[in-house]
């Protein structure tokens, strides 16, 4: 089992970050992938939240992710099925910290998964960590540029 934790400070409020990360069709702005919403959120849930299913295309790999739960401080999702990795679960936690000059949010992105039998754990961990770190940097640049 691979465990990954990535922390990032973002110059935005948790509500802004959650709504941006749950805007599935626009996630390509941050991640090196194409996203298509396959199923909308369950009735009574926040926009893009619990029950949403998105298709993710990275190079020639296509898979689906389902939002398990979402609120103003947390998103939990999982890959549907066991491809490209098994037992994949992601949790994004947000904690607002009020600075003297601005409001910033601490984001803690936790991923657990199992690599395919043919791929070394260290290689998969490196690839996921690199991709998520780049995406979070892109997300922070988005907020710094005031595009919200």
Model confidence over 54-64: pLDDT tens digits? 999 998 999 99
CA–CA dist 107, 142 (Å, integer): 15
- Report domain extents, the chain: 2-144
From the list 11, 20, 27, the residue with the least C-alpha distance to 132 is: 27
Q: For domain 2-144, which CATH number applies: 3.30.530.20, 3.40.50.2300, 3.40.50.300, 2.60.40.420?
A: 3.30.530.20
In terms of DSSP H, where are the helices of 32-92?
A: none
CA–CA dist 15, 138 (Å, integer): 18
Q: What is the pTM of this model?
A: 0.94
Q: What is the pLDDT along the chain (148 residues), one digit of tens a residue?
A: 999 999 999 999 999 999 999 999 999 999 999 999 999 999 999 999 999 999 999 989 999 999 999 999 999 999 999 889 999 999 999 999 876 677 899 999 999 999 999 999 999 999 999 999 999 999 999 999 986 6
CB-CB contact of 113 with 89 (8 Å): yes
């Amino acid at each position: 089992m691979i465990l990954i934790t990535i922390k990032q400070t973002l110059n935005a409020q948790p509500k802004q970050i959650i709504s941006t990360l749950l805007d599935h069709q626009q996630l390509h702005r941050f991640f090196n992938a194409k996203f298509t919403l396959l199923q909308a959120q369950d009735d009574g849930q926040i926009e893009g939240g619990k029950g949403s299913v998105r298709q993710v295309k990275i190079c020639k790999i296509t898979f689906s992710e389902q939002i398990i739960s979402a609120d103003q401080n947390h998103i939990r999702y999982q890959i549907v099925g066991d491809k490209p990795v098994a037992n994949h679960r992601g949790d994004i936690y947000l904690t607002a910290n009020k600075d003297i000059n601005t409001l910033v949010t601490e984001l803690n992105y936790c991923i657990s998964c199992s690599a395919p039998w043919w791929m070394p754990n260290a290689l998969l961990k490196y690839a996921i960590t690199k991709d998520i770190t780049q995406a979070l940097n892109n997300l922070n640049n988005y907020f710094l540029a005031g595009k919200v």
